[in-house]
């Protein structure tokens, strides 16, 4: 190859370097810098280059990690879980159907308090048709299993999230997923600034809680009777309580080392004239920010921490800025469920405030989300003054050859 | 034409959008990547998302601005201010000027003159620049790789970044002698670009947005009330207007595949191995299938048939015309 995408990471990065990279390779680079011991994943579009990039740095001898080829995603998560339980720093990555295949092993990593990290390049589930493009599939399943989930908007954020996830997972001892939108971020070339290796290693010191010690044998995940199971769950609930604070602490530490500021929830232009704000996650937030350059009468609430969901923080923000109406945009649906999953989380958080909202399902299966959607959603919201009727609708979908639904 | 200083002033409050048309393997994405790398401000480059195959038409987009909020969007580019076409064989196949803002630039790797190009694309409100990138590539690089060279022509008509910035970006991305040769080729391209400013074409206005409302939703295709409710695409119905049968995979390949009727024994091995059903055969009066030819609209010259034919009835011939072949990056 005349172009080696991972070349930057073949040697030590000594100072902040501004470069351009696609999301997946940026993640591979960041993971390299956190010095994992075990990398085990199964390729699936659009996640593939992240693991491919890591195989390259391992092959170059830059990273002294076990790069393990397995036959499926279930094997990948099982192997990573076991490696993590043995005290290794492990990384895996997946998307869509691969995430579904992992499902069987996902609860164990939570229950065993394993600081495992996983990247998801969000891609639609195959229903009714196969799609390799972006949908927020990670909100549709497995989100209540107890994995931490943080969502990134662009390449810089997903690079940083790979490092932040290790910090958060190590501190909370809960496995952590970081998500970027498949293709839109995983395959887009954007500018980013790399963090020097020394700083990354300082932020992510290895402090394994778990070890394998033959002199102290034990059983992981052995059966318990009803006398014990519920106590085990309540114990996890207790352990999960400080996670949002730990995330905030990790963000603070990250800011002091790199200057880049992250929060559980980020806000833009909330003190606007219409007291209305969009609320969304991921790459779509960038689209809205560009659109807001000429639409200064609405604001934006961008959720970064999806699990645990920062409901108190969201309430505080909405209350403090006097937001009266929210326009929820999400790339997932629930087929006549009460609300699609992201909106369900936001609605539950805001229940005591009685904030008026409507949810719009956009951009499924990689459909572009543009100013058209934002214009229409904003306009529709102007005439909404109560919570009567259906609370969600599709936007940007063809009803017939002649008609676009809802316009 | 805008001067670098004027453009710099414009990009403080505006975005410039570029679109690259190439074939899979020609390095269109690398070209757009280099734009982001060479630009002093903020930039994003996106391929048209999908599965790229060698030789298939590809698109990639670039969005550049000195204002970070303006390029934060992850939308695809609908209203390019300049379009670069790396492979002239795409001109008849793709509407390369779709959405091109009036007063914008179409930059083509070709030896055709601008009048012929204007006739092909049918637009009188845009400016045209041509560059014989193939000629330069063969002379300096010794290979048909035009992706970097076209950037020399691009910054000649729209000086978004300097030649030095571009050369630096290339030196960072490519290895030793390849990098130096590419820089040399780009400098040649910069000098040899033929520029044709169309009389009466409007001044390029960066506030004009040519995106058609709901373009991303592809109006005109069947809607959700008109498609099968189990996602099934039945082969005997004409619902699928964008099915693979419509795709001119025949334009992807380097070779024409030639069938020799005299030698053919109708054994059918090529018919079984062809991945694109490009072997045409008919049932004769004797009740047997007889080969009648090759469907050149779908044959992408994978040459499986050529390999498997037991009697050498199939041969290949390099396609005519400039730069019709896709060259893999090595």
Q: How much is the pLDDT for B328?
A: 37
CA distance A89 to B115: 63
If asked whether residues B113 and B168 sit together in one domain, one would say yes
Instruction: From A182, A366, A286, select the one nearest A278 (Cα to Cα).
Output: A286
pLDDT bin (cut points 50, 70, 90) of residue B239 is low
Q: Which residues between 298 and 337 in chain A have a beta carbon less than 8 angstroms from any beta carbon of chain B?
A: none
Which chain B residues have a beta carbon less than 8 Å from that of A407?
214
Q: Name the residue facing A289 among B33, B69, B175 (closest C-beta).
A: B69
Least Cα separation, residue A273 to chain B (angstroms): 21
Least Cα separation, residue B205 to chain A (angstroms): 17
pTM score of the predicted model = 0.91
Contact B37 A399 (CB under 8 A): no
Domain boundaries, chain A: 7-257, 265-394
Q: What is the ipTM of this complex?
A: 0.89
Instruction: From B112, B157, B162, B160, select the one nearest B132 (Cα to Cα).
Output: B112
CA distance B197 to A211: 71
pLDDT bin (cut points 50, 70, 90) of residue B319 is confident
Instruction: From B75, B229, B241, B220, select the one nearest A404 (Cα to Cα).
Output: B220
Which chain A residues have a beta carbon less than 8 Å from that of B47?
187-188
Least Cα separation, residue A191 to chain B (angstroms): 7
Contact A190 B44 (CB under 8 A): yes
Q: H-helix or E-strand containing A320?
A: helix A311-320
From the candidates A121, A151, A398, which should be mutated to test the interface with B, based on the most B CB atoms within 10 A? A398
Q: Name the residue facing A188 among B74, B217, B225 (closest C-beta).
A: B74
Contacts by A213-219, CB closer than 8 A, 24 or more apart: none
Residue A265: CB atoms within 10 Å: 18
* Chain B residue with Cα closest to A394: B224
**Is residue A196 less than 8 Å (CB to CB) from chain B?**
no
Spell out the per-residue pLDDT of chain A, length 407, in tens: 446 789 889 999 999 999 999 999 999 999 999 999 999 999 999 999 999 999 999 999 999 999 999 999 999 999 999 999 999 999 999 999 999 999 999 999 999 999 999 999 999 999 999 999 999 999 999 999 999 999 999 999 999 999 999 999 999 999 999 999 999 999 999 999 999 999 999 999 998 888 888 998 888 899 999 999 999 999 999 999 999 999 999 999 999 999 999 999 999 999 999 999 999 999 999 999 999 999 999 999 999 999 999 999 999 999 999 999 999 999 999 999 999 999 999 999 999 998 999 999 999 999 999 999 999 999 999 999 999 999 999 999 999 999 999 88
Return the exposure string of A206-229: e unless at least 16 CB atoms fall within 10 Å of the residue's CB, then b.
eeeebeeeeeeeeeeeeeeeeeee
If asked whether residues B199 and B313 sit together in one domain, one would say no
If asked whether residues B252 and B206 sit together in one domain, one would say no
Contact A191 B43 (CB under 8 A): yes
Q: How much is the pLDDT for B24?
A: 84
Q: Name the residue facing A398 among B76, B178, B217 (closest C-beta).
A: B217
Specify if B241 maps to a domain. Answer: no
pLDDT bin (cut points 50, 70, 90) of residue B51 is low
Which chain B residues have a beta carbon less than 8 Å from that of A128?
230-232
Q: How much is the pLDDT for B322?
A: 41
Least Cα separation, residue B48 to chain A (angstroms): 9
Specify if B144 maps to a domain. Answer: yes
CA distance A93 to A68: 13
Contact B231 A129 (CB under 8 A): yes
Specify if B330 maps to a domain. Answer: no
**Is residue A345 less than 8 Å (CB to CB) from chain B?**
no
Considering the four listed CATH numbers 3.40.50.300, 3.40.50.920, 3.40.1350.10, 3.50.50.60, the one that applies to the domain covering A265-394 is 3.40.50.920
From the candidates A43, A127, A191, A396, which should be mutated to test the interface with B, based on the most B CB atoms within 10 A? A191
Phi-psi region of A69 (alpha: psi -120 to 50; beta: other; left: phi over 0): beta
**Of B217, B237, B266, which residue is a domain's last?**
B217
Q: Which residues between 45 and 104 in chain A have a beta carbon less than 8 angstroms from any beta carbon of chain B?
A: 45
Q: How many domains in chain B?
A: 2
pLDDT bin (cut points 50, 70, 90) of residue B320 is low
Give me Rg for the CA atoms of chain B. 23
**Is residue A17 less than 8 Å (CB to CB) from chain B?**
no
CATH T-level assignment (fold) for domain A7-257: Rossmann fold (3.40.50)
Tokens of B118: 């204007």
Strand partners, A113: none
Least Cα separation, residue A208 to chain B (angstroms): 38
If asked whether residues B118 and B188 sit together in one domain, one would say yes
Specify if B236 maps to a domain. Answer: no
If asked whether residues B200 and B251 sit together in one domain, one would say no
∠ CA A361-B46-B193 to the nearest 5 degrees?
A: 145
Q: Name the residue facing A293 among B70, B76, B231 (closest C-beta).
A: B70
If asked whether residues B209 and B267 sit together in one domain, one would say no
Least Cα separation, residue B250 to chain A (angstroms): 25
Tokens of B101: 């803002």
Q: What is the mean pLDDT of chain B?
A: 89
**Of B196, B217, B238, which residue is a domain's last?**
B217
Contact B222 A191 (CB under 8 A): no
A7-257 matches A265-394 in fold: yes
If asked whether residues B35 and B98 sit together in one domain, one would say yes
Instruction: Look up tokens 């757009």; give the residue.
Output: B32
Q: Name the residue facing B224 among A154, A284, A398 (closest C-beta).
A: A398
Contact B223 A400 (CB under 8 A): yes
If asked whether residues B51 and B110 sit together in one domain, one would say yes
Mean of pLDDT values over B254-277: 92
Are B54 and B326 in contact by the 8 Å Cβ rule? The answer is yes
Query: Domain of B95?
Result: 4-217
Q: Which residues between 224 and 283 in chain A have a beta carbon less than 8 angstroms from any beta carbon of chain B?
A: 283
CA distance B293 to B278: 9
Q: Name the residue facing B49 among A128, A366, A396 (closest C-beta).
A: A366
Enumerate residues 6+ apart whose C-beta is below 8 A from B285. Answer: none
Which chain B residues have a beta carbon less than 8 Å from that of A403?
223
Which chain A residues have a beta carbon less than 8 Å from that of B180?
none
CA distance A161 to A179: 8
**Is residue A151 less than 8 Å (CB to CB) from chain B?**
no
Contact A2 B36 (CB under 8 A): no
Q: How much is the pLDDT for B329?
A: 38
Least Cα separation, residue A38 to chain B (angstroms): 30
**Is residue A367 less than 8 Å (CB to CB) from chain B?**
yes
If asked whether residues B32 and B172 sit together in one domain, one would say yes
Which chain A residues have a beta carbon less than 8 Å from that of B52?
none
B6-41 confidence digits (pLDDT tens) = 999 999 999 999 999 998 888 888 899 999 999 999
Q: How much is the pLDDT for B242?
A: 57
Q: Is the pLDDT of residue B79 over 90?
A: yes
Q: How much is the pLDDT for A1?
A: 40
CA distance A204 to A215: 29
Contact A397 B224 (CB under 8 A): yes
Specify if B225 maps to a domain. Answer: no
Which chain A residues have a beta carbon less than 8 Å from that of B42?
191
Percent of chain B clearing pLDDT 70 (strictly above): 93
If asked whether residues B257 and B213 sit together in one domain, one would say no
Torsion over CA: A219, A221, A227, A233 (sign)? positive
Give me Rg for the CA atoms of chain A. 21
If asked whether residues B173 and B304 sit together in one domain, one would say no
From the candidates B49, B62, B178, which should be mutated to test the interface with A, based on the most A CB atoms within 10 A? B49
If asked whether residues B170 and B306 sit together in one domain, one would say no
Secondary structure class of A38 (helix, strand, coil)? strand
Contact A20 B221 (CB under 8 A): no
């Amino acid at each position: 190859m005349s172009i080696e995408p991972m070349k930057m990471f073949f040697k030590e990065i000594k100072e902040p370097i501004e470069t351009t990279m696609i999301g997946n390779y940026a993640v591979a680079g960041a993971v390299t810098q956190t010095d994992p011991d075990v990398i085990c994943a199964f390729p699936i579009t659009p996640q593939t280059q992240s693991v491919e990039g890591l195989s390259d740095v391992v092959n170059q001898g830059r990273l002294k990690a076990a790069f393990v080829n397995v036959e499926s995603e279930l094997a990948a998560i099982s192997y990573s879980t076991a490696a993590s339980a043995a005290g290794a720093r492990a990384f895996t990555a997946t998307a869509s159907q691969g995430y579904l295949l992992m499902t069987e092993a996902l609860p164990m990593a939570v229950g065993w308090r394993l600081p495992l990290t996983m990247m998801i390049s969000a891609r639609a589930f195959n229903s009714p048709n196969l799609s390799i493009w972006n949908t927020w599939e990670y909100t549709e399943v497995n989100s209540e299993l107890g994995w931490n989930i943080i969502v990134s908007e662009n390449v810089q954020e997903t690079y940083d999230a790979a490092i932040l996830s290790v910090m958060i997972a190590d501190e909370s001892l809960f496995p952590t997923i970081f998500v970027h939108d498949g293709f839109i971020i995983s395959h887009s070339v954007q500018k980013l600034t790399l963090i020097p290796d020394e700083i990354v290693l300082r932020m992510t010191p290895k402090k394994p809680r778990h070890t394998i010690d033959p002199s102290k044998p034990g059983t992981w995940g052995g059966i318990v009777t009803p006398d014990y199971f519920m106590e085990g769950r309540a114990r996890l609930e207790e352990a999960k309580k400080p996670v949002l604070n730990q995330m905030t602490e990790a963000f603070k530490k990250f800011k002091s080392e790199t200057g880049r500021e992250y929060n559980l929830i980020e806000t833009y232009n909330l003190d606007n004239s219409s007291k209305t704000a969009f609320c969304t996650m991921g790459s779509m937030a960038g689209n809205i920010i560009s659109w807001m350059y000429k639409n200064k009468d609405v604001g934006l609430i961008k959720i970064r921490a999806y699990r645990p969901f920062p409901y108190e923080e969201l309430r505080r923000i909405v209350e403090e800025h006097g937001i009266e109406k929210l326009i929820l945009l999400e790339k997932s649906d629930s087929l006549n469920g009460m609300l699609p999953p992201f909106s369900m989380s936001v609605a539950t958080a805001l229940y005591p405030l009685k904030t008026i909202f409507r949810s719009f399902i956009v951009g499924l299966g990689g459909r572009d989300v543009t100013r058209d959607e934002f214009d229409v959603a904003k306009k529709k919201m102007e005439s909404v003054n109560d919570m009567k009727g259906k609370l969600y609708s599709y936007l940007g979908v063809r009803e017939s050859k002649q008609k676009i639904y809802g316009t | 034409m805008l001067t670098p200083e004027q453009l710099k002033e414009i990009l403080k409050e505006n975005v410039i959008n570029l679109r690259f048309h190439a074939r899979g393997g020609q390095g269109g994405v690398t070209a757009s990547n280099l734009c982001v790398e060479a630009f002093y401000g903020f930039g994003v480059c996106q391929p048209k998302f999908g599965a790229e195959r060698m030789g298939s038409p590809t698109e990639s987009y670039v969005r550049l601005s000195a204002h970070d909020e303006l390029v934060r969007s992850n939308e695809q580019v609908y209203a390019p201010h300049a379009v670069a076409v790396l492979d002239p064989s795409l001109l008849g196949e793709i509407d390369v000027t779709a959405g091109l803002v009036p007063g914008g630039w179409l930059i083509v790797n070709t030896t055709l003159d601008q009048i012929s190009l204007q006739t092909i694309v049918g637009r009188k409100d845009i400016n045209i620049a041509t560059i014989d990138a193939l000629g330069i590539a063969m002379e300096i690089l010794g290979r048909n790789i035009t992706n970097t060279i076209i950037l020399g022509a691009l910054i000649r008509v729209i000086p978004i970044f300097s030649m030095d910035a571009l050369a630096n970006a290339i030196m960072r991305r490519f290895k030793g002698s390849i990098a130096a040769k590419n820089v040399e080729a780009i400098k040649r391209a910069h000098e040899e670009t033929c520029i044709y400013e169309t009389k009466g074409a409007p001044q390029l206005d960066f506030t004009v947005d040519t995106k058609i409302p709901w373009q991303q939703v592809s109006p005109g295709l069947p809607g959700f009330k008109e498609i099968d409710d189990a996602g099934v695409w039945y082969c005997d119905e004409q619902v699928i207007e964008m099915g693979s049968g419509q795709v001119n995979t025949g334009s992807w390949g380097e070779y024409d595949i030639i069938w020799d009727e005299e030698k053919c024994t109708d054994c059918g091995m090529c018919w079984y191995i062809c991945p694109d059903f490009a072997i045409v055969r008919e049932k004769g009066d004797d009740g047997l299938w007889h080969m009648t030819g090759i469907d050149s609209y779908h044959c992408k010259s994978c040459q499986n048939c050529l390999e498997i034919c037991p009697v050498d009835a199939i041969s290949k011939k390099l396609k005519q015309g400039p730069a019709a072949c896709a060259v893999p990056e090595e």
